[in-house]
Amino acid sequence: MQLNGFRLIKMRLAQLGALLLMCLLALPVYAERVIELASFAGVRDNQLVGYGLVVGLDNTGDQTTQAPFTSQSLSNMLSQLGVTIPPGTNMQLRNVAAVMVTADLPPFARPGQRVDIVVSSIANARSLRGGTLLMTPLKGADGDIYAIAQGNMLVGGAGAQAGGSSVQINQQAAGRIPGGALVEREVALNLGGNGGMLELQLNEVDFGTVQRMVTAINNEFGQSVAYARNGRVIALDGPVDANARVNFMARVENVQVTPTEAPARVVLNSRTGSVVMNSAVTLRQAAVAHGSLSITIDRNLGVSQPGPFSQGQTVVVPDTDIDIEQQEAYLQIVEGAQLTDVVNALNALGATPQDLMTILEALKASGSLRAELEVI
């Protein structure tokens, strides 16, 4: 009886383990909200740019002889304020700098709201620290003015120089003004004007993710409100009423979707030597031999001294040593069906990141590396 009881308990545990395994396999690998994968068409930032002057610098502004447009801009500004500069006046001002002002106008921004701006020098000013940006109109791509910028700058860098020596920490030719621009005009956005129809645009083209997103949205609302147009755009049949539309869009943004696995890709940064690969990368069996040839040329200068009373001349004689060293290389089998296997197989070659780029290109050419190579 006791033995049968142990067998029954063991059977129950096995069934429970199988059930847990099935549950784990049924669970999605990960899920993300729609707002992290896509955005509504038209709901975006707009870039603004303007040209202005920064004043109040401590003798670190533009050298007007090398940047004449700074003096011209200052003269135009003073003339608008009723100050006339005599013609031919050479203004040697070192506390003024010509700058470009950039900002991002967020969606639905209304007149009277403030946005952050970035101020960058365009001439030879050494530092903008302690400067004040004068009133600068910020224009959009259509040439209209959407904001006015002005305020005291915040520069993160610092520097000092004396006696021919100088020290500098971080960049001093650019700074920020939090809330430094006042919105004067809003960007017209007729959201849902076509009978409440909305468009959801994925961040990346993926037909599988589009299909899953359409299914998840329709399941959330219990009816067909989402329709796939292509591998990136989803049409949504939203409400006509503005308040109901906002609630509709909020529900859509919070729908949980499990995106399809990204295609196998290896990214190579030729400037830094970085190699990054995602989890979908696999490596079919291949034989790789890795070795490098090192050539060292050492040149030393010696002096040839003639013997006494030989009437010879002292000459400099170069002595050159050339050393060629080649590391041993053996064919090694590399293979991996998972990312950890691929990394271990490549690490076994003992290659540097630069050499690893060449090896990965050769593996791709041979058909062993099952991934897309992207060089940035």
**pLDDT over 50 at 25, yes or no:** no
Look at residue 96 in the predicted model and tell me its pLDDT: 92
Interval 65-97: pLDDT, tens: 777 888 888 888 888 888 888 777 777 778 899
The more confident residue out of 37 and 340 is 37
Q: What is the mean pLDDT of residues 165-189?
A: 83
Interval 220-229: pLDDT, tens: 999 999 999 9
**Global pTM?**
0.68
Tokens of 357: 């780029």
Q: Are strands 114-121 and 174-183 parallel, antiparallel or unpaired?
A: antiparallel
The more confident residue out of 176 and 61 is 176
Look at residue 122 in the predicted model and tell me its pLDDT: 93
Q: How many CB atoms are closer than 10 A to CB 110?
A: 8
Q: What is the mean pLDDT of residues 353-375?
A: 82
Using pLDDT thresholds of 50, 70 and 90, give the confidence band for residue 321.
Answer: low
Per cent of the chain over pLDDT 70 is: 75
Helices 207-221 and 242-253 meet at what angle, rounded to 10? 120
Residues counted in the chain: 376
DSSP 232: S
* Cross-strand bridge partners of residue 99: 52, 121
Using pLDDT thresholds of 50, 70 and 90, give the confidence band for residue 304.
Answer: low
CB 209 within 8 A of CB 156: no
Instruction: Name the nearest CA neighbour of 135 among 116, 151, 155.
Output: 151
Interval 45-54: pLDDT, tens: 999 999 999 9
CB 116 within 8 A of CB 61: no
Give the Å distances, CA to CA, from 165 to 80, 137, 168, 242: 41, 39, 11, 64
**pLDDT over 90 at 15, yes or no:** no
Rg of the chain on CA atoms, in Å: 34
Cα dihedral sign, 376-157-45-207: positive
Side-by-side strand order, sheet with 282-289 = 331-336, 282-289, 369-370
Alpha-carbon distance 212 to 101, whole Å? 43
In this structure, the dihedral spanned by the alpha carbons of residues 15, 21, 23 and 25, taken in order and rounded to 10 degrees, is -150
Instruction: Name the nearest CA neighbour of 214 among 203, 204, 229, 196.
Output: 229
Alpha-carbon distance 347 to 160, whole Å? 47
